[in-house]
Amino acid sequence: MENEIENLYNTILERKISGENGSYTNYLFAQGINKILKKVGEECTEVIISSKENNREEQVNEICDLTYHILVLMAELNIPLEDIKNELKKRSEKINNFKGERKPIKGY
């Protein structure tokens, strides 16, 4: 799976540079950060909704859509995939890290 995500991320970076006409990825970059964030939010919601249903195919599709849009966001923010890998590696090495329930966020 790692290679597929790396390949997709590299394709997204190439599209960001090339400005290829007709590319949905380039459309997102041209629209800017607000459009990308909106799509990430929409896909998060769709993952949540599909997770409450018993349609495995839909769940997989929505998680793939979210993954793609997160990678576009990373490219827009100039966050290399390597940074994410390194952070995940650090986190996976932690043990006894549960600090209890999170405090509620005020104003929500």
Q: Which residue has the tokens 């986190």?
A: 91
Would residue 92 count as lying in a domain?
A: no
Domain of 27? 2-86
Would residue 35 count as lying in a domain?
A: yes
Would residue 93 count as lying in a domain?
A: no
- Do 82 and 42 form a contact (C-beta atoms < 8 A)? no
pLDDT of amino acid 108? 60
pLDDT of amino acid 104? 81
pLDDT of amino acid 10? 97
pLDDT of amino acid 100? 76
pLDDT of amino acid 7? 97
Which parts of the chain have pLDDT scores under 50?
Answer: none
Split into its structural domains, the chain has a count of 1
Q: How many CB atoms lie within 10 A of CB 50?
A: 19
CATH number at residue 81: 1.10.287.1080
